[in-house]
Chains A and B, each alone.
Chain A
Amino acid sequence: MSRSDQESDWPYPDTAPGDEHVDGHDIAEGVGSYLVGLALATLLTVVAFFVSGTTLVWEPSIPVALVVLAIAQMGVHLVFFLHITSGPDNINNVMALAFGVLIVLLLLAGSFWIMAHLNHNMMPMDQIMQMQR
């Protein structure tokens, strides 16, 4: 369908190129993508719930495993549900995501770091309570 065809038979002038091309192939692809995402996310969720209560693995490794599973599942959601891909239309979205991840990591790591040292350097709580009496 050429551009002029689209303009002539499309009743809404407030549209842009590329907006409205949905055919059977796109639909099969779209539903397939959501199905793959659902299957992967379900798998990762089930594994996470199983790992959290298991005694099969060395116990201190469980939180690490849970974090890895969660990050993997967030990736699955981003790719299959939010459609953040490496395509040319998506470069800006990926760059924004990278910046967001940077801020989130700084915020989390900075908070843990500072609060751990603050706790370390602070007077024990019972002594503070005594001073307030």
Chain B
Amino acid sequence: MSAFDATAVYDPDRRGRDRRYMPEHAADELLSKRIIVGYGFWIFLLSDIIMFSAFFATYAVLVGATAGGPSGRELFNLPNVAVETACLLLSSFTCGLASIGARMRRGSWFYGAMMATGLLGAAFLGIEVHEFQGMVAQGAGPTRSAFLSAFFTLVGCHGLHVTAGLLWLLTMVAQVFAKGYRADILRRILCFSLFWHTLDIIWVALFTVVYLMGAAR
């Protein structure tokens, strides 16, 4: 039955929807909430990526404006950056494992992978903060030159995103701990994992444009 049948009796389905207005198997054709939520959050992530591209453009324009101060070649420590990259990439992987663990409702898997993700993210942040402290201590803080202002804005903005992601990670663990693997919480975990993976994508652009190209320059 696909067209409205006036003679049929109103017989709502479990959610109160009028079956007379629904084509057969309509429920199977509805987009899953999971897909819709993922789409909406993806739109937000794309807007975040566009914001980062503005910071990248600023950095690229100002990279030569060192005002007689140190350039990236003198400041950047590539082995450090390699460790940071490894931390973030591995945390992206464990974050994926955590989302699988959550969908399976397997606590040991979910909590273990989330803890690994959090620790790797914290290690990344620690290395970054240490790097920033070292630069400020040697007089290469954000006020030294336009290049360094752009550098701290771009890399610091990514670091703030990672900080926010870590807080979000803790709240997701707490939500699962307190409320279990409810459908809405699983969708929040989906959004969190999308966010975390996107931070890694931005880091790929960051270590390439800022660190590798800066050190080679």
Contact = CB atoms under 8 A, between A and B. Distances in A.
Interface string B134-145: 000000000000
A107 B47 CA distance: 13
Contact of B197 (A13, A52, A67, A77): A77
B32 A100 contact: no
A129 to B, nearest CB: 12
B133 to A, nearest CB: 24
B89 A41 contact: yes
A104 B216 contact: no
Interface string A14-58: 111111101000010011011101100110010011001100000
Given A34-B96, A49-B82, A111 B208 contact: no
B33 interface: yes
A63 B39 contact: no
Interface in B78-106: 78, 82, 85, 89-90, 92-93, 96-97, 100, 103-104
A19 B49 contact: no
A45 B88 CA distance: 12
A83 B49 CA distance: 17
A94 B58 CA distance: 27
A27 B28 CA distance: 23
B32 A12 contact: no
A108 interface: yes
Contacts of A93: 38-39, 42
Nearest to A84: B42
Nearest to A78: B201
A37 B215 CA distance: 27
Interface range for B: 35 or more
A69 B208 contact: yes
Interface string B173-184: 000000000111
Contact of A112 (B39, B57, B78, B85): B57
Interface residues of A, number: 53
B96 A81 contact: yes
Interface string B85-129: 100011011001100100110000000000000000000000000
B183 A12 contact: yes
A73 B14 contact: no
A46 B77 CA distance: 16
Given A3-B27, A15-B33, A27 B49 contact: no
Query: Which 8 pairs from chain A and chain B are nearest by CB?
Result: A100-B46, A111-B57, A18-B32, A52-B212, A70-B208, A16-B33, A34-B96, A104-B53
Interface of B: 14-15, 25, 27-28, 30-35, 38-39, 42-43, 46-47, 49-50, 53-54, 56-58, 60-61, 78, 82, 85, 89-90, 92-93, 96-97, 100, 103-104, 182-184, 186, 194, 197-198, 200-201, 204-205, 207-209, 212-213, 215-216
18 contacts: A3-B27, A7-B14, A16-B32, A18-B35, A19-B33, A30-B100, A41-B89, A41-B92, A49-B85, A49-B212, A52-B216, A69-B208, A77-B92, A81-B96, A82-B197, A97-B42, A97-B46, A108-B57
Given A19-B34, A22-B103, A104-B49, 6 more contacts: A48-B208, A66-B208, A82-B198, A97-B42, A100-B46, A100-B47
